[in-house]
Amino acid sequence: MMEPVNVAIIYYSSTGTVHALAQAAVEGAEKAGATVRLRKVAETAPPEAVSGRAEWAGHLEDTADVTEAGHDDLEWADAVLFGTPTRFGNPASQLRAFIDTTGPLWFQGKLADKVYSAFTASNTAHGGQESTLLALANTFYHWGGIIVPPGYTDPLQFRSGNPYGTSHVTGDGPPGEVALQAARYQARRVVDIAAFLKVGRAA
């Protein structure tokens, strides 16, 4: 009997959209049989910036009990899903700040051969979701990762619409059932592919 796939879902969210997608990804990964760690990255914005927006401060407080991501989570994981809002067409600096601490792991080859996938949210439909996901993928290439995008591998993807990774338009309101299902589906696909690899390595 194979050990379950270990999945780390590492995200940043200011106002809860990406957090909601991350929680749906947890559901999808767990349903697919994985052991899952949900991890937020540290808030690096100055306190006055956070307190200047009630929904930002409120979300930070609401998620105070979510454990912060550490290098041990990356080492432990067979697969990692990263979630980030789109910031000027790029991943949020808070997530980048965490990623930019991983040099020592990368140098030791500890980030290679894992499955990676990513999801995002932006305020508008053409506000940079693909560029954000592709920018994150640059890092996965450097790590020697195995990138597993959702593609159009399920009929749901023709409704959710982004083969690069689950994406939600926050300007339309909080993630609805299609976006949440897409996040669950993406996580399931990540677990399935990571399981194939884990079985293959154990053989």
Ligand X SMILES: Cc1cc2nc3c(=O)[nH]c(=O)nc-3n(C[C@H](O)[C@H](O)[C@H](O)COP(=O)(O)O)c2cc1C
Report the interface residues with ligand X, using CB under 6 A.
Answer: 13-19, 85-89, 121-124, 127-128, 170
Q: Find the helix packing angle between 177-202 and 17-31, rounded to 10°.
A: 50
> Judged by CB, which is closer to ligand X: 86, or 157?
86
**Shortest Å distance, C-beta 108 to ligand X:** 32
**Shortest Å distance, C-beta 178 to ligand X:** 16
**Shortest Å distance, C-beta 99 to ligand X:** 17
Cα–Cα distance for residue pair 186/133, rounded to 1 Å: 14
**Shortest Å distance, C-beta 127 to ligand X:** 2
> Judged by CB, which is closer to ligand X: 65, or 203?
65
132-to-45, 64, 84, 91 alpha-carbon distances in Å: 20, 26, 8, 5
Q: Which residue has the tokens 């914005």?
A: 45
> Judged by CB, which is closer to ligand X: 18, or 80?
18
> Judged by CB, which is closer to ligand X: 3, or 68?
68
**Shortest Å distance, C-beta 14 to ligand X:** 3
> Judged by CB, which is closer to ligand X: 35, or 63?
63
Cα–Cα distance for residue pair 138/161, rounded to 1 Å: 22
- Confirm if 149 and 181 have CB atoms less than 8 A apart: no
Backbone angles phi, psi at 120, to 5 degrees: -150, 175
Question: Which residue minimizes CB distance to ligand X?
Answer: 127
